[in-house]
Chain A
Amino acid sequence: DVKVTQSSRYLVKRTGEKVFLECVQDMDHENMFWYRQDPGLGLRLIYFSYDVKMKEKGDIPEGYSVSREKKERFSLILESASTNQTSMYLCASSRGLAGSYEQYFGPGTRLTVT
């Protein structure tokens, strides 16, 4: 079975802190994604990566950056956390042409910024 793991289930950080969210997949997938999920807004794509060191902005990249140094690992970075970044963060991975195959999701990280 495909497994996507995220480093934390729950995280509480203070405004202005630098926050790292880690994601690891074990199926050698080319593509990895970071979404945030908010009530009434559904899943919104922050960034995605289609190869090591390659990244592309999604719909809401402001305030975030990403890193993909190894194929299995995709990190989301909040450079200076703000209260409006309190959300559920979901990582996903997929094979092949991005958007044309099933995405496998991790369990999510619920981040609270105070």
Chain B
Amino acid sequence: GESVGLHLPTLSVQEGDNSIINCAYSNSASDYFIWYKQESGKGPQFIIDIRSNMDKRQGQRVTVLLNKTVKHLSLQIAATQPGDSAVYFCAENGRTALIFGKGTTLSVSS
């Protein structure tokens, strides 16, 4: 089946830096994409989503960019804080459910 992957399993940044987490997807027919954050011991929490009729969407301190030409999705976190340390998953719409990537662990040091 189709799968969503992430470029890097881990990312380490300094507090205050901007973080960029990347994701590649394989199904060119996918039209809905979403980022989740999962803190240790908790379920995934919604961060931001984007549909294929958009290239960019901004939230509070987060921006998602979608490049349909190369099937690439990225999450940008501005002024990264220690509380942003977590595993981040991208997902795309499948036939019956979201299809998740394997996750990038973001570590923020002060």
Contact = CB atoms under 8 A, between A and B. Distances in A.
B43 interface: yes
Contacts of A33: 97
A41 B101 CA distance: 9
Given A42-B103, A90-B43, A59 B98 contact: no
A99 B43 contact: no
Interface stretch (B44-52, B54-62, B74-82): B44-52
| Contact residues on B (Cβ < 8 Å of other chain), bracket | 20 to 34
A69 interface: no
A100 interface: yes
Interface in A63-114: 90, 92, 98-108
Given A43-B89, A107-B42, A99 B96 contact: yes
A107 B93 contact: no
Interface of A: 4, 31, 33, 40-43, 45, 48, 50, 56, 58-59, 90, 92, 98-108
